[in-house]
Structure 1
């Protein structure tokens, strides 16, 4: 039985412990993401967007942070899983595309060897099958010359290409949830559009739900069905994308929209 919601976050909060003090980084937060939906999480840098994503992925250091609340993926509670079970889920069931794609790849191995290794870690296929899948996925991404890309090292490819390689890996693994943390920030407009187009394809072809984190409302507007606006560790407004752009309720949302209009006039 498919659970109706891919992601359900209830009362997720994060506090940083410094000596005897606890500093709230994330106030109790609720999020729901349905199958094949895109939820945009928007806010200025430092508003808690990345903390939210790391808390969902369980990548925060439990020694210096106090983390509470429930995170369910397809009805399965993640917050109580053992670390190794969580590691299995990351990558296979939850994909993660990060802001600086360089960090996702090891500099000393080719893109191809890492792609193949990742596929084989998560599914029982031969090296030849994995290579075939990887090449096909790169070709699907409209990346020129998949053979050359497979033989490249991360530093030989542009940020836009690396982002698309990461999406190609997600296409193969077909996670039910993809967390895209500022996936277009470091890219020029042409590459931004390509990456957004591929994310849209991942959603439409594979039914993947996407949590799209960005400070850029333009990016959110192109892809998201629903938008949650974050300010200093809490969600101040959540609404359908059209509603939010047409009738923002919170002054902070209005400020973000104004700032975007001004920056577009200057551009």
Structure 2
């Protein structure tokens, strides 16, 4: 890693933590090169356990870091960028992970010529099994994308694609992990309901998707399918072996 690279996170939620942990797990990014800001200290402890510096000042992150992840809720992006925009220079790389906020919108909120990328990660970054898709803005060069890809590879599969794919990815890989994140469930030791709440922003994409699945009876249908398959397995086990063989013909 470039020794001059300093990585910042504006926002200290689950997505910021997942990315930060993934970056640090590789060993290529030292904790001393990372700084996180948030208005509340509620989530600071887990970042401090990683050895990362924390602050309440977004301006401090912009001043001390040259690659900055904007990891706040979508409705807060305009307000956050409005405060820091006067400090953003051509040397900064701004990476937004806010769902639904387009590159055009981001570039309009920042100084002309700003280097902006849009990224959609997902929570399995915590266990290095994430699926991450990014798109480059107007002034982001291939080398900026290559840098981001290199940094994020410890988090999982990283791909670049057109921005039109981002919303699809949000629904499939961003929200979709809540529909069956087996390894994350196994490794985290957390209750499934807790993991679900961690990826379900109120009014966000995941909770809407889960609501649609509940309306469609997916959970009930899955449970019924497992029960029926189990009973069928028991039935086959009760029959003589020659009958089971005949059934396979």
Q: Same fold (TM over 0.5)?
A: no
TM-score normalised by structure 2 residue count: 0.30
TM-score normalised by structure 1 residue count: 0.29
Q: Larger Cα Rg: Structure 1 or Structure 2?
A: 2
Question: Which protein has the bigger strand share?
Answer: 1
Higher relative contact order (CA 8 A, sep 6+): 1
